[in-house]
Amino acid sequence: MISYDGRHAGWVLRLIQGDELRKLTIMLTAAVMAFALTTPAAMADDPDFLVIGGGWYDFNDDKDAIDFRAEYRSDYKALGFLKPWIGIEATSDQAVYGVGGVLMDIYFGRRWVLTPSFGAGAYADGSGKDLGHTVEFRSQLEFGYRFDDRSRMSLAVSHISNASLGDNNPGTEIATIYYHIPFSDIID
């Protein structure tokens, strides 16, 4: 919910807690899944991609760094809509994260694509932020534009944390700009 607190010259987000958050998450997930199943024409011709990205690691905290990513995103669809992906991420603080998971492309017409994704992998902090465990999970929301040649440019926000596997779970947020290259363009 959004409420005005009367003290600041702007709007302040009020945190949704407990059952409200769970209900909202379930409703949003159901809506996204329902919408995704109604757009098969747009996703029918998508190729597999080599995805290159760069961005701002830990933008919400005090251990910020430059983030670099390379991912392979398959065109194979499990259950008709879930696509596997695998990637590596490194920061300017020598942190390295090998990760893989699933994603779902949700199309708004031919051009605009919303891509929620989830993955798990192994993290080494280098001289960067200690995320509290070797096993880390990444959730991401990405919004992009698809060009005529099927390449894409997108902006993503992701969260990496260990889901409390360790005693310390600070997590981090990353803002990333991606360019998706159809894999067939690289091989041909």
Q: For residues 69 and 54, is the Cβ–Cβ distance under 8 A? A: yes
CATH of domain 44-187: 2.40.160.20
Q: Quickly list H helices, 52-135.
A: none
Q: For residues 31 and 38, is the Cβ–Cβ distance under 8 A? A: no
Residues 6 or more apart whose CB falls under 8 angstroms from that of 167 comprise: 132
Q: Average pLDDT, stretch 109-134?
A: 95
116: pLDDT confidence band, cut at 50, 70 and 90?
A: very high
46: pLDDT confidence band, cut at 50, 70 and 90?
A: confident
4: pLDDT confidence band, cut at 50, 70 and 90?
A: very low
Q: Which of 142, 183, 160, 187 is nearest to 59 (CA)?
A: 160
pLDDT score for 186: 82
Asked whether residue 16 carries a pLDDT value surpassing 60, the answer given is: no
pLDDT score for 33: 60
C-alpha distance from residue 157 to each of 58, 127, 177 (Å): 11, 23, 9
Q: Quickly list H helices, the chain.
A: 18-36, 40-43, 183-187
Q: Average pLDDT, stretch 59-82?
A: 93
pLDDT per residue over 124-175, tens digit each? 999 999 999 999 999 999 999 999 999 999 999 999 999 999 898 999 999 9
pLDDT score for 19: 58
Note the pTM of the prediction, 2 decimals: 0.76
Structural domain boundaries of the chain? 1-36, 44-187
Higher model confidence: residue 19 or residue 156? 156
CA 161/CA 112 separation, integer angstroms: 28
Q: For residues 85 and 70, is the Cβ–Cβ distance under 8 A? A: no
